[in-house]
């Protein structure tokens, strides 16, 4: 799960991570008042679940409270396009109005899980404020990596090492060490999958402050953090993905035109591969899971069909724990309920396969049976090319 910058900063402050003072608002009037309270200057920052806001025009310096009002008026309600939003952009609902910082230096900090070594890794770079992917691409040695133990936490000697590597000395070094320790503690204790401070700012006075903050959380651990779960913003998520999550379906929308209903993540991945291989393009990833019931299958089919880009559906089921007859009845119910004017190809194999095929035959629906994955992929692509069913 992702959260907004202002929410990430709220969480980080609880752990003692220094951030600029500020408040979130959806009103330009209030942006003016907050700026007055901050001493007359502020930075007005669009709150969306995507980075690159600065370049996209979503982060503006206000030299007076009236300017803050004007910036907020422009930014709130705008469709902000950044390199992370796609060309359609994201609608801004709120702005964070923050004290304008006196920036001497912008650095980069990030913590994520290194799956290869099974440990969180603290990444740091002198090149902050810009896209870290670009830095990593041009000069991988410009990013220092310090893995640490998730149970013992980041050790003070590791924090000192990273602070030195960032070129921080004297009082700034002394402030950076507790900052790093607090960030690492927040990462571990809140079950983050990513905590990123870009830029980490060194002020003219040598203070160490998080100017930006991005935190992603492990969905499987959210039951331990009901306060963080409250931060979920459904408007930032794809509506079909939100709908799918209500039924515990693993659904991810993609931009192709062949809808996929598959059981098991591995089979779902290979189904997407074989569709591409056969010259098509998947419209979604969908794993109905090992033990899906008829109701889930019906909803999965409904969700696939409600995507207007979907011009054909490939159902690829290997009945292990999942029974083919359950899939078949779910599909038949969904199609009868919603109606379906696009071709549907079904490949069933495994437990109760004959019962499943019989249900489909008896339904009177124009489903196209397939033998094997390659045959299924070729059939759906041919059917989509022809149009209709
Ligand atoms: P994004 O990464 O989405 O572009 P940031 O929060 O990193 O958004 O802001 C972009 C840039 O705006 C920062 O690199 C920094 O230079 C400037 N900036 C952000 N917040 C402040 C602030 N409170 N005071 C001064 N400058 C800021
Ligand atoms: Mg940033």
| 213-252: pLDDT as tens digits | 999 999 999 999 999 999 999 999 989 999 998 998 999 9
Higher pLDDT, 173 or 141: 173
Catalytic: which of 67, 98, 146, 196? 196
Tokens of 17: 């991570």
Residue 268 in this model has a pLDDT that exceeds 60:
yes
Over the stretch 106-126, which tens digit does the pLDDT of each residue have? 999 999 999 999 999 999 999
Residue 295 in this model has a pLDDT that exceeds 90:
no
**pLDDT score of 334:** 86
Residue 202 in this model has a pLDDT that exceeds 70:
yes
Alpha-carbon torsion, ordered 64, 70, 72, 77, to 10 deg: -170
State the closest ligand 1 atom to the C-alpha of 101, by its place in the atom list counted from 1. Answer: 24
**pLDDT score of 89:** 92
Beta strand 143-147 with 119-125 is: antiparallel
- Chain position carrying tokens 């559906």: 313
**pLDDT score of 282:** 97
pLDDT-derived band at 130 (thresholds 50, 70, 90) equals confident
Mutate to test the pocket of ligand 1, among 211, 213, 214, 215 (most ligand atoms within 8 A of CB): 211
Which residue's CA is minimally distant from atom 5 of ligand 1?
212
Active site residue 196: yes
Task: Check pocket membership of 307 for ligand 1, CB cut-off 6 A.
Answer: no
Dist. CA 175 → ligand 2 center (Å)? 21
Residue 66 in this model has a pLDDT that exceeds 90:
yes
Dist. CA 99 → ligand 2 center (Å)? 16
**pLDDT score of 341:** 87
Backbone angles phi, psi at 16, to 5 degrees: 90, 15
What is the mean pLDDT of the segment spanning 127-140? 87
**pLDDT score of 71:** 98
Which residue's CA is minimally distant from atom 9 of ligand 1?
54
Q: Indicate the average pLDDT of the chain.
A: 94
DSSP letter at 9 equals H
pLDDT-derived band at 294 (thresholds 50, 70, 90) equals confident
Measured distance CA(97)–CA(350) in Å, rounded: 58
Active site residue 108: yes
- Is the alpha carbon torsion for 221, 223, 229, 233 positive or negative? positive
Beta strand 312-319 with 344-350 is: parallel
Residue 131 in this model has a pLDDT that exceeds 90:
no
**pLDDT score of 388:** 54
Tell me how crowded residue 361 is: count the other CB atoms within 10 A of its CB.
Answer: 12
Residue 389 in this model has a pLDDT that exceeds 70:
no
Catalytic: which of 5, 6, 98, 108? 108
Dist. CA 222 → ligand 2 center (Å)? 25
Long-range CB contacts (within 8 A, 24+) of 301-306: 301/261, 301/330, 301/331, 301/334, 301/335, 301/338, 302/334, 302/337, 302/338, 303/240, 303/243, 303/244, 303/249, 303/251, 304/259, 304/260, 304/261, 305/259, 305/334, 305/338, 305/340, 305/342, 306/240
Over the stretch 337-382, which tens digit does the pLDDT of each residue have? 888 889 999 999 999 999 999 999 999 888 899 989 999 999 999 9
Over the stretch 22-44, which tens digit does the pLDDT of each residue have? 999 999 999 999 999 999 999 99
């Amino acid at each position: 799960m992702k959260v907004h910058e202002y929410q990430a900063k709220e969480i980080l402050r609880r752990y003692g991570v220094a951030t600029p003072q500020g408040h979130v608002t959806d009103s330009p009037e209030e942006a003016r008042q907050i700026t007055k309270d901050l001493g007359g200057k502020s930075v007005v920052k669009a709150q969306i679940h995507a980075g690159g806001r600065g370049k996209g025009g979503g982060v503006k310096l206000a030299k007076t409270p009236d300017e803050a009002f004007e910036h907020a008026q422009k930014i709130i309600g705008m469709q902000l396009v950044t390199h992370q939003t796609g060309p359609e952009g994201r609608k801004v609902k709120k702005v964070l109005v923050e004290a304008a910082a006196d920036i001497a230096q912008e650095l980069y900090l990030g913590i994520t899980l290194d799956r290869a070594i099974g440990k969180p890794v603290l990444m740091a770079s002198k090149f902050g404020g810009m896209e870290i992917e670009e830095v990593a691409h041009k000069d991988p040695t410009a990013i220092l990596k310090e893995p640490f133990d998730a149970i013992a936490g980041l050790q003070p000697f590791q924090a000192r090492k990273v602070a030195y590597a960032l070129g921080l000395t004297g009082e700034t070094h002394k402030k950076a060490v507790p900052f790093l320790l607090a960030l690492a503690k927040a990462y571990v204790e809140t079950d983050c999958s990513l905590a990123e401070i870009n830029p980490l700012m060194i002020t003219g006075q040598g203070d160490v402050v998080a100017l930006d903050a991005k935190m992603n959380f492990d969905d499987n651990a959210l039951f331990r953090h009901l306060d963080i779960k409250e931060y979920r913003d459904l408007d930032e998520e794809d509506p079909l993905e939100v709908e799918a999550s209500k039924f515990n379906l693993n659904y991810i929308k993609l931009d192709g035109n062949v809808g996929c209903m598959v059981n098991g993540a591995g089979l779902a991945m290979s189904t997407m591969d074989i569709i591409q291989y056969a010259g098509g393009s998947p419209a979604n990833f969908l794993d109905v899971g090992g033990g899906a019931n008829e109701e889930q299958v019906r909803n999965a089919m409904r969700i696939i069909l409600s995507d207007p880009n979907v011009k054909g559906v490939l159902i690829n089921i290997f009945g292990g724990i999942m029974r083919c007859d359950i899939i078949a009845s779910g599909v038949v119910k969904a199609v009868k309920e919603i109606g379906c004017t696009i071709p549907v190809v079904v490949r069933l194999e495994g437990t109760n396969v004959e019962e499943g095929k019989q249900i489909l035959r008896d339904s009177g629906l124009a489903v196209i049976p397939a033998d094997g994955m390659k045959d299924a992929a070729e059939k759906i692509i041919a059917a989509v090319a022809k149009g209709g069913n």
